[in-house]
Structure 1
Amino acid sequence: MGSSAPQADSVNEAEVPLLGLDDKRTSRASWPVTVAMLLSLQLGWGLWLMPADFARLGWIPATAILVALMLATIYSGLLLLRLYQAVPNAVLFGDIGEAAAGSKGRSLVYWTVYSLDATRCIILHLAATQSLQHAADNSDCLLCGAIVAVIALVLGQVKSLAEISWFLSLGTAAQLFALIIVAVKLIVVPLHGAKTELVHTGEAAVSIVAVMNLIFAYGGQFAYVEIMNSMKKPAQFTSAVALATPIMSGAYLCLGMIGYWSRGRGVEEIIIFGTGMDVWSRVAAGAILFQALAQYLVNLNVWTHNVLTILARRKALQSSSHCNVQCAGDHKRLPWLLASACIIAYSFGISVSLPFFSTLVGLVTSVTYLTCAYTIPCWFTLRLLGSQISKAEYALCWAAVPLTIAFSCLGFGASVLALINNLGVGEL
């Protein structure tokens, strides 16, 4: 318990800015705001991988998996709401973990969330780098990655995300703007002779990575408990998920189908980079650069704050003193600079060394998103609510735990294999 408490506090403080609330959390979100929050959290870079995922799976499997994930996401939201209501004082996902499995449950949650934060910085650094490459028509990955690192380092020194909320809002608006440009271009200028398949029967590892990409696109359950805790009426959370998820799924299906129909099996990994190098395509790439940077700054802030808080509390514990860190603004400028610089450095190093976006997404999904979304909620439901749910639902949750663990292992192996292939041929 002694080692888990600092982690719990640090995530709590970090998640509040992520959800757009002030540190004292005096405000509460209405149902419409919660719907918007869910869309902002989940409708991210997975969108741009949709046409490539359709190409790696085919019309029928891709559509069926998207529908299944839509239903599974709504169900996971219901499970997490039940768990939240079963632990009245829960503020974080880790609080439910502690109630279900003690310190081991709490540690499992935070190890998973921390791993997710750390790896998302790498993915978003790569996303911003590739966006800049396309927008500037510059193939130098090292140079563009370094420019992104400098921008992130400068903007990352603003410790309060509220002070750069304008930039975060700009990122969301930029994505919607880019989506309109890309969809119009794909419809107006389809590739002559583009071939599609009802079911793609290519390399199994590539298809599994595509499934992981689809799961990544729905990832957001790691923050569901915090979102519930921010609501005026948490009992309405499931209905908010039930509205936001179909809207998100509609966007995924539309872009996936339009992109696959327009470009066929040879579609680019990130569809926005496969629409040419004209002015509008480069404008769209520049727009998603803002979105990538905005998400990068949020994750950089969360991860920097978490690292410094853990270090500060360990130091206080060793000296038998009190740790006064309550929020990101309490950290001194020099430690914040050094910690954020280290995070940016490893994100830059890995992203330019392994510039294979969907493969990295597959790796992250297999070890974090899938676990957060399904394995952990089902296990905690069995531990806390096993006697209150129906036999059919008990059997479903019981079967989901080993199945999702097995699929995580399968996804991890396929992603590693795809990564090895990437390194051999230089592309997915």
Structure 2
Amino acid sequence: MPGPRKEDIAGSSSQLGSSAPQPDSPCEAEVPLLGLDDKRTCRASWAVTVAMLLSLQLGWGLWLTPADFARLGWVPATAVIVVLTLSTIYSGTLLLRLYQAVPNAVLFGDIGEAAAGSKGRSLVYWTVYSLDATRCIILHLAATQSLQHAANNSDCLLCGAIVAVIALVLGQVKSLADMGWFLSMGTAAQLFAMVVVVAKLIAEPLEGAKTELVHTTEAAVSIVAVMNLIFAYGGQFAYVEIINSMKKPGRFSSAVALSTPIMSVAYLSLGMIGYWSRGRGVQEIIIFGTGMDAWSRIAAGAILFQALAQYLVNLNVWTHNVLTILARRKALQSSSCCNVQHAGDHNRLPWLLASACIIAYSFGISVSLPFFSTLVGLVTSVTYLTCAYTIPCWFTLRLLGDTISKAEYTLCWALIALSIVFSCVGFAASLMALINNLGTGEL
């Protein structure tokens, strides 16, 4: 499929901002590509970007991996993790190339507009906003359950309200780069908790724990496990915004190439050790199955920081996206120019109101449907695969189809087909699991 002409791309991109000339190497530019004043006080370095990616992706999917191994068996679970490692690195490369093909892009939807007009933009917005909406719910629930376990308090409403207040206060930091210290602390806390849990699992294995090379029963449960692993690698919905926040966007693919193997080592290590220690009867969220002693509660407190760090990244991306769209509509109605390029360009009051609305509904739904793994599977099947593979591959064929090799052309079509099939199968399996959860009351 031939890609659009360069002048077509430029014409679409010009709707986003200025027609100022672009630098020869836009991916290495240290200044905004739009012809507007940059209001940001800080831009993300390569190291901060790696921290962002780890905070965004090395999150609560980690604590589901032992249960995922139990639902799949040694061989399938390991194979899924290897495949996701390679495909995540590839999707990061694709999104960087798409960003470079549409240098005036501020949001992922801008790339969609360049690739497929208003339909492409709408597809991105519906998918990303649906994902962000549900991901904020999941992360609010994750933080709430962490706080419950750390404080040994079963009051879900109280712990959920405390998380809401913390998120509202910290969420007023508009620049992702300015949150780098908190994101790094969240990742460090996650790794500390992992060390504590692994030590307890090795020291206290369950006598007679049984494992399987391949788990062949309960197909729907196994499919949900695959969806959970895909969730653990999810984050592509925010890649364009992260690229746009970097000092040198061209280094983004190397940041993904470093952060993704780090995640994979963590997933394999905890998944294998947890499955070996607890066998097929492993608790769904492994950290809550290690007891209520002081170390277990300290570890739960540590992952509270990671849940909050992920929550803040998602909250930031969605608030920025929504306010940017509203600003563009207002500028269009008044025939003026929209000067919003980055999160720091938004006024404080609209940012406060938008983030408060997101936090409020996340709190309400998370305490009403506290079924973590099932919600993860449902969200992943509906939006994650679409964001990570279906949309980027389709846009690549539209924008870069005449420049990529035949092998990559075939690969993109294959990923589109596979992602759609897996989305449909995963949705059906997750819906069945949710109905079962509601009937039995099991988390």
The residue that corresponds to 1:414 in the other structure is 429
- Name segments (4+ residues, structure 1) moved above 6 Å: 319-326
2:110 maps to a residue whose letter is D
Measured at CA, do residues 288 and 307 of structure 1 come closer, stay the same or move farther in structure 2, by a change above 3 Å?
same
**Distance in structure 2 (CA, Å) of the matches to 1:425 and 1:330:** 45
Match runs of 1:160-179 below 5 Å: 166-179=181-194
Which moved further from structure 2: 277-286 or 65-74? Answer: 65-74
8 Å CA contact retained: 2:331, 2:337: yes
The Cα RMSD (Å) is: 3.0
**Distance in structure 1 (CA, Å) of the matches to 2:56 and 2:413:** 28
**Are residues 1:29 and 2:29 paired?**
no
Find the residue that maps to 1:219 and give its secondary structure. coil
Measured at CA, do residues 399 and 159 of structure 1 come closer, stay the same or move farther in structure 2, by a change above 3 Å?
closer
Measured at CA, do residues 310 and 387 of structure 1 come closer, stay the same or move farther in structure 2, by a change above 3 Å?
closer
1:272 maps to a residue whose letter is I
The residue that corresponds to 1:72 in the other structure is 87
Find the residue that maps to 2:61 and give its secondary structure. helix
> TM-score normalised to the size of structure 2?
0.83
Find the residue that maps to 1:388 and give its secondary structure. coil
The residue that corresponds to 1:194 in the other structure is 209
- What's the CA shift for 1:389? 2.7
Find the residue that maps to 1:138 and give its secondary structure. coil
**Are residues 1:331 and 2:352 paired?**
no
8 Å CA contact retained: 2:148, 2:154: yes
Find the residue that maps to 1:45 and give its secondary structure. coil
Within the candidate set 382, 385, 390, 1:370 is matched to 385
The residue that corresponds to 2:230 in the other structure is 215
2:196 maps to a residue whose letter is I
Within the candidate set 394, 401, 407, 1:392 is matched to 407
- What's the CA shift for 1:196? 1.0
C-alpha deviations, 1:38-89, integer Å up to 9, x for none? Answer: 3333212111111111111111110011111111112222333333343344
Within the candidate set 257, 277, 298, 2:313 is matched to 298
**Distance in structure 1 (CA, Å) of the matches to 2:42 and 2:336:** 29
The total of aligned residue pairs comes to: 411
C-alpha deviations, 1:11-59, integer Å up to 9, x for none? Answer: xxxxx9xxxxx953774634x5544443333212111111111111111
- What's the CA shift for 1:187? 1.0
Measured at CA, do residues 359 and 174 of structure 1 come closer, stay the same or move farther in structure 2, by a change above 3 Å?
same
- What's the CA shift for 1:8? 7.3
**Distance in structure 1 (CA, Å) of the matches to 2:101 and 2:319:** 32
Find the residue that maps to 1:24 and give its secondary structure. coil
Q: Flag structure 1 segments of 5+ consecutive residues without an equivalent.
A: 10-15, 17-21
**Are residues 1:120 and 2:135 paired?**
yes
Within the candidate set 386, 391, 405, 2:420 is matched to 405
Within the candidate set 238, 243, 254, 2:269 is matched to 254
- What's the CA shift for 1:123? 0.6
The residue that corresponds to 1:55 in the other structure is 70
**Distance in structure 1 (CA, Å) of the matches to 2:83 and 2:242:** 23
- What's the CA shift for 1:261? 0.6
- What's the CA shift for 1:238? 3.5
**Distance in structure 2 (CA, Å) of the matches to 1:94 and 1:236:** 22
Within the candidate set 351, 365, 375, 1:350 is matched to 365
The residue that corresponds to 1:12 in the other structure is none
- What's the CA shift for 1:323? 6.7
The residue that corresponds to 1:139 in the other structure is 154
> TM-score normalised to the size of structure 1?
0.86
- What's the CA shift for 1:221? 1.9
8 Å CA contact retained: 1:97, 1:380: yes
- What's the CA shift for 1:372? 1.3
Q: Percent identity?
A: 84
1:128 maps to a residue whose letter is A
**Distance in structure 1 (CA, Å) of the matches to 2:16 and 2:209:** 51
8 Å CA contact retained: 1:81, 1:238: yes
2:347 maps to a residue whose letter is H
- What's the CA shift for 1:110? 2.4
**Distance in structure 2 (CA, Å) of the matches to 1:225 and 1:302:** 10
Within the candidate set 176, 180, 185, 2:200 is matched to 185
Which moved further from structure 2: 152-161 or 353-362? Answer: 152-161
1:223 maps to a residue whose letter is A
Q: Flag structure 2 segments of 5+ consecutive residues without an equivalent.
A: 1-11, 18-31, 33-37
- What's the CA shift for 1:116? 2.0
Measured at CA, do residues 36 and 364 of structure 1 come closer, stay the same or move farther in structure 2, by a change above 3 Å?
same
